[in-house]
Amino acid sequence: MTKQYSDVFRKLVIWTLIAEIAFWAIAGLLYGSFEMAGANFQFLHPGFFWMLLFIPLILLAYLKRWQWKSELHDNYRGMGRTRMLWVTFHPLRYFLQYFFVRNILFFLVIALVQPVMGNRKVKGSKRVLDLVICLDVSSSMNTIDMDATSSRLTVAKRGVMQLLNSLKGERVSVVIFANEAYTQLPLTMDYGAAKMFVQEIETDMISNQGTNIGAALEMAQIQFMDSESGHAVLVITDGEDHEQLWREQVTKIVEKDIDLTYFGIGTEQGGLIPNDPKDPTLGYKRDGGGAVVSKLDVSGLKRMANATGSALHFANSAYPDMTAVANDLSSVKSKTVKNMEFTVQRNYYQIPLIIAFCCFLGYLFVPFLVNRSQS
């Protein structure tokens, strides 16, 4: 008995291997031509290339099946057409089935690694906000009246830390002020650096004592000079403004459409101001023979807030809840949309994905593409 289909199997294997070599050679040439084109060709997720190792496994599985079918067909030749129906051998159909399955996997992997080449411009919009936190470091902020151990400055820094944790994409700057104002941290999105700078703030950083909120507002506006984002200023203070120079600055702030929020630290009962916040045993500040009592200036803060329709919040404990302040800032941010143009890489994952889908359809229609009676 001749081994007709074993010979056909050998030819099928040879032509399949030739087709494989040709396929990978063409793929290599295409990759090399893209690399030489100098169009910044690369793959975004090359880690998925390992999945191509399934292709030789699929080839081995198909070869084993073809061998089994050819041997079975040779062994059952001459037993009648009815008995041969279940061992039919269609080389072209088998090759096309493997061809489409291999290509489905290959092009799906290429889609997963996402080939990119060249750049394109994309227009978009972004809600943006620049926030300047003005922190009072006058000596009255050393007063311990929120609880038994925490000074107003300590409470204020806790509030700033909580607020920094809630920010999402805003740039933040820190200005410290007493009778003068200085920029402690320029506008940045490095919240880690901002926290570090805030932790280091002490009342002895400014020797010229007093409380000049106007100077703080003026310095805050300087931070916005080169900014196209929405602008917001948060003033954290006990409200004891001795200079009363804030009126001129709030007028400018209103004209520049800067959102202004006040946050009061301290209690209306007040407390004594220690000479040295690190050593309370050194006594308290005195004036005219009596100890100086520092109180939260609620009426002064309300007067400043009402002058511009600004939001006003107060610390309700030594661990202040900054949720209301964060909500105010979020509301300001939602009103400011900045149109932007981005340069992004051209992604061509759609092309191999479409080819893989076409191969899937081809696989489904193989029985209709090949004559069923072919053997």
Provide the CATH number for the domain around residue 332: 3.40.50.410
pLDDT of residue 135: 95
DSSP 266: S
Q: Are 241 and 307 in contact (CB under 8 A)?
A: no
Residue 144's domain spans which residues? 128-336
pLDDT for position 192: 92
Residues 102 and 140 in one domain: no
CA 119 to chain centre: 21
In a shared domain, residues 97 and 38: yes
pLDDT at 370: 65
State whether 308 and 351 are in the same domain: no
Question: What band does 346 get if pLDDT is binned at 50, 70 and 90?
Answer: confident
The residues, ordered by sequence, that sit 6+ positions from 5 with a Cβ below 8 Å of its Cβ are 69, 70, 71, 73, 74, 77, 89
The per-residue pLDDT for range 26-37, each reduced to its tens digit, is: 888 888 777 776
What is the C-alpha separation between 223 and 106, in angstroms, rounded?
Answer: 54
Query: What is the structure's pLDDT at 73?
Result: 66
Residues 135 and 163 in one domain: yes
How many domains does the chain contain in total? 2
What pLDDT does 89 receive?
A: 59
Q: Note whether 178 and 252 are same-domain residues.
A: yes
Shared-domain flag, residues 310 and 361: no
- As a whole-number percent, the residues of the chain with pLDDT over 70 amount to 85
pLDDT band, residue 2 (cuts 50/70/90): very low
Q: Quick one: average pLDDT of 364-371?
A: 75
Confidence at residue 84, expressed as pLDDT on a 0 to 100 scale: 47
Q: What is the pLDDT of residues 239-256, one digit of tens each?
A: 876 556 788 888 898 888
Three-state DSSP class for 138?
A: coil
Q: Answer whether 236's CB lies under 8 Å from 135's CB.
A: yes
Tell me what the mean pLDDT of segment 163-173 comes to: 90
Q: Using the predicted structure, report yes or no on whether residue 165 has a pLDDT greater than 90.
A: yes
Q: Which two tokens stand for residue 290?
A: 């009596």
Least confident of 1-5, 38-42, 241-245, 366-370: 1-5
Kindly report, residue by residue over 262-316, the tens digit of the pLDDT: 999 999 888 888 887 777 777 888 877 778 888 898 998 999 899 888 999 999 8
Q: What is the mean pLDDT of residues 356-371?
A: 83
Query: Over 80: is that where the pLDDT of 104 sits?
Result: yes
Say yes or no: 27 and 176 in one domain.
no
Confidence of residue 159 (pLDDT cuts 50, 70, 90): very high
Residues linked to residue 260 through DSSP beta bridges, in sequence order: 233
Give the C-alpha separation, 21 to 39, whole Å: 27
How far apart CA 309 and CA 254 sit, in angstroms, is 10
Between residues 132 and 371, which one has the greater pLDDT? 132
Mean pLDDT of 157-175: 92
Give the C-alpha separation, 137 to 196, whole Å: 17
Q: Between 321 and 95, where is the model more confident? A: 321
Structure confidence at residue 82 as a pLDDT band (50, 70, 90): very low
Say if residue 53 is in the same domain as residue 168.
no
Mean pLDDT (whole number) for 195-216: 89
Average pLDDT, the chain: 83
pLDDT interval class at 199 (50, 70, 90): very high
Average pLDDT over residues 109-136: 83
Looking at the fold, whether 92 and 204 belong to one and the same domain comes out as no
Angstrom distance (rounded) from CA 154 to CA 201: 9
Same domain for 147 and 116:
no
How sure is the predictor about 66, in pLDDT bands with cuts at 50, 70 and 90? confident
Residues above pLDDT 90, as percent of the chain: 32
Answering whether pTM is above 0.75, one says no
Task: Judge whether 93 and 370 are in contact, CB under 8 Å.
Answer: yes
Tell me, yes or no, whether 156 and 210 share the same domain: yes
Confidence of residue 195 (pLDDT cuts 50, 70, 90): very high
Confidence band for 77, pLDDT divided at 50, 70 and 90: low
Does residue 85 have a pLDDT over 70?
Answer: no
Does 14 share its domain with 32?
A: yes
List C-alpha distances in Å: 106 to 15, 52, 256.
Answer: 19, 7, 58
> Is the per-residue pLDDT at 373 higher than 50?
no
pLDDT of residue 275: 81
